[in-house]
Amino acid sequence: MKICLSRFNIILLLLCCSAFTACQTTKQNPEETALRKKYKNEKTLLQLHLGGAANSSGRSIEIYRQKPIYVSVDPIPFLDWRNITDGRLVEDQSGFAIQLQFDAHGTFVLDTLTTANRGKPIAILAITGTEQRWLGAPLIHQRNASGFLTFTPDATREETERMIYGIRNVAERVRKQTQF
C-alpha cells in the first residue's frame, strides 16, 4: 500500500492546526478574577446529614432563620467536603441556589440514599472558620443518580458567593492531596 507523500503532509498539517486551535484557554472575566482573589483564603466545609421523623433517634436542629423548621438529623454525616468536587452559584426560579457536584463515591452514596429515603430531608451543615450553620434541608422527592445536588441556601447572595469559593478552595485542596 502506497501513500502519497503530499496527501500525508496535508493531513498532518490539518491535524496540527486543529490541535493548536483547540488548546486555546478561556479567559476569565475581571469580576470572576476579582472574586477569586478576594476569597482565595476562604474555606467552607459541608456536611450532609440524613433527616428523619421528629421522634427518631438523633438531635433536633433548627433550619432557616426567617421561618425556622425543626428537623431531627442523624449525627453522623453521610457525605462531607471530601466527596465534593465543585460548587456553583446557579440561578433558579426563586433567585439563586447552590449546586454541588460529587465525586464517584459521593454520587453512589447520594444515589443509594435518595433511593431508600424518599420523603426525608437532607440537612446541609456549613462550617466556615468558627461558625457552623445549617443552610437548608431539601426534601428527597426522587432518586438522584446525577452526582449533583441543588438547593436554596438560607443565606444572602454575598454569603453564598463566599461559601462557594470556600467550597471550591477545599475541593481543590482535597483533589491535590488525593493525587499520587
Alpha-carbon distance of 57 to 50, in angstroms, equals: 12
pLDDT at position 21, please? 59
> What percent of the chain stands above pLDDT 70?
79
Residue 153 in domain: yes
| pLDDT of 170 above 80 | yes
pTM of the shown model = 0.76
Output the domain CATH number for residue 127: 3.30.1360.200
pLDDT per residue as tens digits for the range 127-151: 988 889 999 999 999 999 999 999 9
Taking the CA of residue 120 as centre, how many other CA atoms within 13 Å lie in the half-sphere pointing to its CB?
Answer: 21
How many angstroms separate the Cα of 151 from the Cα of each of 34, 93, 109, 135? Answer: 26, 12, 18, 9
Domain range enclosing 126: 51-178
**How many domains is the chain partitioned into structurally?**
1
| pLDDT of 38 above 90 | no
